[in-house]
Chain A
Amino acid sequence: MKKLLIGNHAVSYGAMLSRAEVIAAYPITPQTQVVEELAELCASGKLKAQFIKVESEHSAMSACIGAAQAGARAFTATSSQGLALMHEVLHWAANARLPIVMANINRAMAPGWNIWADHIDSLAQRDTGWMQFYAETNQEVLDTIIIAYKVCERVLLPAMINLDAFFLSHTAQSVEIPEQDMVDEFLPPYNPEIKLDPDDPRAFGGLLPPKYYMEMRCKLHSAHRNALKIIEEEEKNFFKIFKRKYGLVDEFYTKDAQIIIVTSSTITSTAREFVMRERKKGRKLGLLKVRVFRPFPFEKIRGALKNCEKLVVIDRNISYGNAGIFATEIKSALYGFRNVPVFGFVAGLGGRDVQLEDIEGMVDFARKKNFSKDEIWWGLKK
């Protein structure tokens, strides 16, 4: 059934169709509607989940950890300051290898107080061991939550589904809502081998001395590397049932492109429109969307960038003292493989609009120059 859905409700429907069993969440703008809808779905009986009201995001994630450890499918959603408050337990969820799925509405960090789109909140959690997906449309949001549970439960890692504040969270788009029996066919009930069970007592989270600690961390890392393959497998399985696919990355006119724009999330859509307009004029422009950021799809990115002459990377984030994070990671993927100029643009921070004209300006900038040592702050006021 097709429905007009805002991104936040696409999140709620994704969790409902995945048959989340425990939901613990704390409201924060611009995520609030996710929680409101889930609370209503639970209250009306449409979603048979335990809805736990908590006093903070740290508690929300802690409750999810307990639930997942007991073998329940757990879900939460947050944003910005809320995600930051979870930081300690994000490590816990990954290190304990718990397949929790969380939606994060990408929002800037304060001060100055800002509720608008910015990727610094999730990128600051890059090294917590969570898989990270960045969605472009509301359909992708809903589908990715379902796919993520399947992947998470196979590789025993948690996943964060990121969507832009307002540009997706509050924007209504047409979304095909999958039938429950089809989702059930794709995603069977979660039944882990090892769980908290009074009838089968075990110890969890015990002391892990230097003798063993490193091996456990390497296993977590290997699980991430392995997840690249599992994500692709499960996307194929998803496609067989639902006829929709997304990929680790999405290549758009990259094959013969002289310049390739690299984006994530909603800036991708506007860039798509720009690439289509340029192609009509015969200009060889391409687009690479990085959908999965952790694990980082090195091979896919190298494959997509093997022929281009220049790169325009648009970052809705800044790693202070370094550069835009996607640009840095793309450069690391190219190291020892190809030496092409990477123009790293920092744009759209704190929800500043990135329009067609901005993308045009960035591509023009790259056309005219051979090299840029530093990142370029786009559209800064003088």
Chain B
Amino acid sequence: MIEIKIHGRGGQGSVVAGKILAEAFFLENWFVQAFPEFGTERRGAPVSAFVRIARKQIFIKSNVYKPDYVIVLDPSLIKTTQPQKGLKKGGWILINSPFSVEEYKFENCRVAVVDASKIATHFGLGSATSPIVNTAILGAFARVTGLFKLESLLKSIEDFAPVKKSENIEAAKQAFEEVLF
């Protein structure tokens, strides 16, 4: 079983990211369980979403505490809610950040970075001050992990992005190319 945790702030599209990610796995015949953090979400507040995947039926219904992969939509969370904590040894953390991989020094895990905010802004997703970075960062996730084909992600975005489908698809493709790891 593989567990993924997505951290963001309300309004960045963390919950939709979980949904799109789950669908990408579903399209490749994984057993999937996807759920948002069970809280009272509001704009700007830290929020998270979880995805569990396995090759057989998933029974566990509790929250995810020790993910294999962590996706961070807002780099300011690294210092506040510390999403890197709990990551399994040797796991990946993928951060939306304009900086290089070397900026982030965590023990026992691998780091990838992509400037998803820049890409999202370029394609007019959200606004310049609060870009919606979910589809871009998932493009990077597809490349870093190799867990599913980019095509499956693009199909999932096509199905689930509520607006600007082609812009979201292009953002995912560009992040797939630009991610550093």
Chain A interface residues toward B at CB < 8 A: 4, 115-116, 165-167, 170-174, 266-267, 269-270, 272-273, 276, 351, 353-356
Contact = CB atoms under 8 A, between A and B. Distances in A.
B141 to A, nearest CB: 18
B23 A4 contact: yes
A174 B33 CA distance: 8
Interface of B: 19, 22-23, 26, 31-36, 38, 40, 59-63
A337 to B, nearest CB: 30
A172 B60 contact: no
Given A4-B32, A172-B32, A174-B32, A272 B59 contact: yes
B100 to A, nearest CB: 35
Contacts of B34: 4, 171-172
Contacts of B33: 171-173
A355 B22 CA distance: 22
Contacts of A174: 26, 31-32
A266 B31 CA distance: 17
Nearest to A136: B61
B61 A269 contact: yes
Contacts of A356: 60, 62
Contact of A170 (B36, B59, B60, B61): B36
Among B22, B34, B38, B61: residue with most chain A CB under 10 A: B61
A171 B34 CA distance: 5
A171 B59 CA distance: 13
Contact of B38 (A170, A272, A354, A355): A170
Nearest to A272: B59
B62 A166 contact: no
Given A4-B26, A171-B35, A174-B31, A270 B60 contact: yes
Contacts of A276: 59
A41 B141 CA distance: 34
Contacts of B59: 269-270, 272-273, 276
28 contacts: A4-B22, A4-B23, A4-B32, A115-B40, A165-B38, A166-B35, A166-B38, A170-B35, A171-B33, A171-B34, A171-B35, A172-B19, A172-B22, A172-B33, A172-B34, A172-B35, A173-B32, A174-B31, A174-B32, A266-B61, A269-B59, A270-B60, A270-B61, A270-B62, A273-B60, A276-B59, A351-B38, A354-B62
Given A174-B32, A266-B61, 20 more contacts: A4-B19, A4-B22, A4-B26, A115-B40, A167-B35, A170-B38, A172-B19, A172-B35, A173-B32, A173-B33, A174-B31, A267-B61, A269-B61, A270-B59, A270-B61, A273-B60, A276-B59, A353-B63, A354-B62, A356-B60
A270 B33 CA distance: 13
A272 B56 CA distance: 14
Contacts of A116: 38
Contacts of B35: 166-167, 170-172
A167 B35 CA distance: 8
A172 B60 CA distance: 13
Contacts of B36: 166, 170
Nearest to A354: B62
Contacts of B19: 4, 172
Counting from the closest, the 8 A-B pairs by CB-CB distance are: A171-B35, A166-B38, A273-B59, A172-B34, A266-B61, A355-B62, A269-B61, A269-B59
A273 B62 CA distance: 11
B38 A269 contact: no
Given A4-B32, A115-B40, A172-B19, A167 B60 contact: no
Among B19, B22, B32, B38: residue with most chain A CB under 10 A: B38
Contacts of A267: 61
A263 B156 CA distance: 36
A187 to B, nearest CB: 27
A106 B60 CA distance: 19
A269 B58 CA distance: 9
Contacts of A166: 35-36, 38
A267 B26 CA distance: 24
B22 A167 contact: no
A166 B34 CA distance: 11
